[in-house]
């Protein structure tokens, strides 16, 4: 009762659309607009069900659709969002790729990205290591990639929490972080919750970028010495590097500049592997986490690398997006990874 009969049941046409049908649908929508898909086919003179017309319009005839090969930027956005949101959020992905249809994104994920991740030894569903991959001749390479995929997945979860927590703690602790800039003789800092900075880390997307231009054979040597600790590098264009970091006892404020350092992440804090002490990032020099993270989720159509520097105007919109996303997302304790 509740469902409208399908095309088959009412004897309507199915299958590939003809140019003539397209023309009829376009002409009708241009004149009357779309909506009320149930009655539209009859009024437009089409032997199709409304659902078929709606899909044809949404996935093919709509004038603002971008066609052709996906760009690296688009691929990265899809992977990033898939890692965070999973399969059931194609609609969210289309909001970041407004000129691509959900069907196109879904197809591209299934036929290209999923396959490529699998080839790299990464489970496209969990973004984690596929056990059997370790048995292959490229075991070290695939293990490294998988390791990074797990870190990426864990990082995304942690970052989502950071946003949430930052909404609660960022203002009260701003003054404390400023104390860090004072000379060593000032009062010791209290232990603060992690500030909403984005720790630099290896990024699976960087590997993906490499895959665009290099074969696995070419890039595998880079990861031969990959260790269980995060390898921080300022060379990654996606990372925002804090200019200073310091111990919680304020005994030193250590500039890191271009120096590569290895740290552990424990409970969302950056840990010194030698002293096992906690670093606090300099909030004055680090963009808010929301700003740095949402830089990974650009609506970049038509925007070149040169434009990125003046792209700050979107941050407010993106903050709102991620706030909404977090409000709709629950992060159980079991999901905590650090």
Residues that bind DNA (CB under 7 A): 1-4, 6-8, 13-17, 35-39, 48, 50-52, 54-56, 58-60, 87-91, 102-104, 106-108, 110-112, 115
Neighbouring residues of 174: CB distance < 8 A, sequence distance ≥ 6: 283
Measured between alpha carbons, how far is residue 182 from residues 74, 174, 281 in Å? 43, 14, 14
Closer Cβ to DNA, 67 or 184, answer by number: 67
Q: How far is the CB of 110 from DNA (least distance, A)?
A: 6
Do residues 262 and 226 touch, judged by C-beta distance below 8 A? no
Q: How far is the CB of 329 from DNA (least distance, A)?
A: 15
Do residues 158 and 337 touch, judged by C-beta distance below 8 A? yes
Q: Are strands 253-255 and 244-247 parallel, antiparallel or unpaired?
A: antiparallel
DSSP state of 307: G
Q: How far is the CB of 81 from DNA (least distance, A)?
A: 11
Do residues 292 and 198 touch, judged by C-beta distance below 8 A? yes
Closer Cβ to DNA, 78 or 241, answer by number: 78
Closer Cβ to DNA, 112 or 264, answer by number: 112
Tokens for 162? 């950071």
Q: How far is the CB of 292 from DNA (least distance, A)?
A: 27
Closer Cβ to DNA, 5 or 255, answer by number: 5
Do residues 63 and 89 touch, judged by C-beta distance below 8 A? no
Q: How far is the CB of 326 from DNA (least distance, A)?
A: 18
Q: How far is the CB of 121 from DNA (least distance, A)?
A: 17
Do residues 294 and 315 touch, judged by C-beta distance below 8 A? yes
- CA–CA distance, 145 with 80 (Å, rounded to integer): 15
Closer Cβ to DNA, 56 or 247, answer by number: 56
Q: How far is the CB of 332 from DNA (least distance, A)?
A: 20
Neighbouring residues of 37: CB distance < 8 A, sequence distance ≥ 6: 50, 51, 53, 54
- CA–CA distance, 57 with 60 (Å, rounded to integer): 6
Closer Cβ to DNA, 90 or 161, answer by number: 90
SS3 129: strand
* 136 φ, ψ (degrees, to nearest 5): -85, 170
Closer Cβ to DNA, 61 or 253, answer by number: 61
Closer Cβ to DNA, 37 or 238, answer by number: 37
Q: How far is the CB of 8 from DNA (least distance, A)?
A: 5
């Amino acid at each position: 009762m509740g469902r409208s009969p399908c095309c088959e049941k009412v004897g309507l046409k199915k299958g590939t659309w003809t140019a003539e049908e397209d023309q009829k649908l376009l002409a009708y929508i241009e004149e009357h607009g779309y909506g009320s898909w149930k009655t539209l086919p009859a009024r437009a003179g089409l032997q199709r069900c409304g659902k078929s017309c709606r899909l044809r319009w949404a996935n093919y005839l709509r004038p603002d659709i971008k066609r052709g090969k996906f760009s690296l930027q688009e691929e990265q956005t899809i992977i990033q969002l898939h890692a965070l949101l999973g399969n059931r959020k194609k609609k969210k992905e289309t909001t970041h790729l407004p000129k691509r249809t959900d069907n196109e994104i879904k197809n591209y994920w299934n036929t290209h990205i999923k396959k490529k991740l699998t080839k790299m030894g990464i489970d496209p569903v969990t973004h984690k290591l596929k056990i059997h991959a370790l048995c292959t001749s490229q075991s070290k390479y695939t293990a490294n990639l998988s390791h990074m995929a797990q870190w990426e997945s864990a990082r995304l979860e942690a970052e989502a929490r950071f946003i949430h927590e930052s909404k609660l703690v960022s203002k009260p602790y701003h003054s404390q972080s400023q104390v860090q800039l004072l000379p060593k003789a000032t009062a010791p800092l209290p232990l603060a919750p992690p500030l909403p900075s984005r720790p630099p880390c290896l990024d699976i997307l960087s590997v993906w970028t490499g895959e665009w231009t290099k074969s696995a054979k070419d890039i595998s040597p880079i990861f031969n010495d990959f260790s269980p600790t995060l390898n921080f590098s300022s060379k990654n264009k996606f990372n925002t590097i804090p200019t200073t970091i310091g111990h919680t006892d304020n005994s030193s404020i250590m500039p890191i500049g271009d120096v590569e350092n290895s740290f552990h992440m424990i409970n969302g804090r950056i840990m010194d592997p030698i002293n096992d002490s906690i670093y606090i990032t300099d909030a004055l020099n680090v963009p808010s986490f929301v700003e740095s993270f949402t830089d990974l989720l650009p609506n970049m159509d038509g925007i070149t690398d040169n434009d990125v520097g003046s792209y700050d105007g979107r941050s407010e919109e993106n903050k709102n997006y991620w706030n909404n996303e977090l409000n709709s997302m629950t992060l159980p304790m079991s999901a905590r990874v650090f």
